[in-house]
Copies of this chain bind each other. A is one copy, B any other.
Amino acid sequence: MDNKIIEFITQYISLTDEEVEIIKGQNLVKSYKKGEALLVEGEYAKDCYFVLKGCIRSYYIIDGEERTTDFYTENQTINPVSYLTKSKSDYFLSCVEDCVVSIGNEERNKELITKIPKLESMLLQLGNSLLVENHTSLDDFKNLSPEMRYYKLLENKPDLFQRVPLQYIASYLGVTPVSLSRIRKRIQNK
- Write the residues of chain A forming the contact surface with B, with a CB cutoff of 8 angstroms: 60, 62, 67, 69, 79, 81, 84-85, 90-91, 120-121, 123-124, 127-132, 134-139, 141-143, 174
| 4 nearest A-B pairs in the assembled complex, by CB-CB distance | A127-B127, A134-B134, A138-B138, A84-B128
What B residues does A81 contact at CB under 8 A? 132, 135-136
Q: A138 contacts B84, CB within 8 Å?
A: no
What B residues does A129 contact at CB under 8 A? 84
What B residues does A132 contact at CB under 8 A? 81, 84-85
A-B contact pairs, 24 of them (CB 8 A): A60-B139, A67-B142, A69-B138, A69-B139, A69-B143, A79-B131, A81-B132, A81-B135, A81-B136, A84-B129, A84-B131, A120-B121, A123-B124, A124-B124, A124-B127, A127-B127, A127-B128, A130-B131, A131-B131, A134-B134, A137-B138, A138-B138, A138-B141, A141-B141
State the CA gap A60–B148 with chains docked (Å).
16
**Closest chain B CB from A64 CB (angstroms):** 13
20 further A-B pairs in the complex, CB-CB below 8 A; given A81-B132, A142-B174? A60-B139, A67-B142, A69-B138, A69-B142, A69-B143, A79-B128, A81-B135, A81-B136, A84-B131, A85-B132, A91-B139, A120-B120, A120-B124, A123-B124, A127-B127, A131-B131, A134-B134, A134-B135, A134-B138, A137-B138
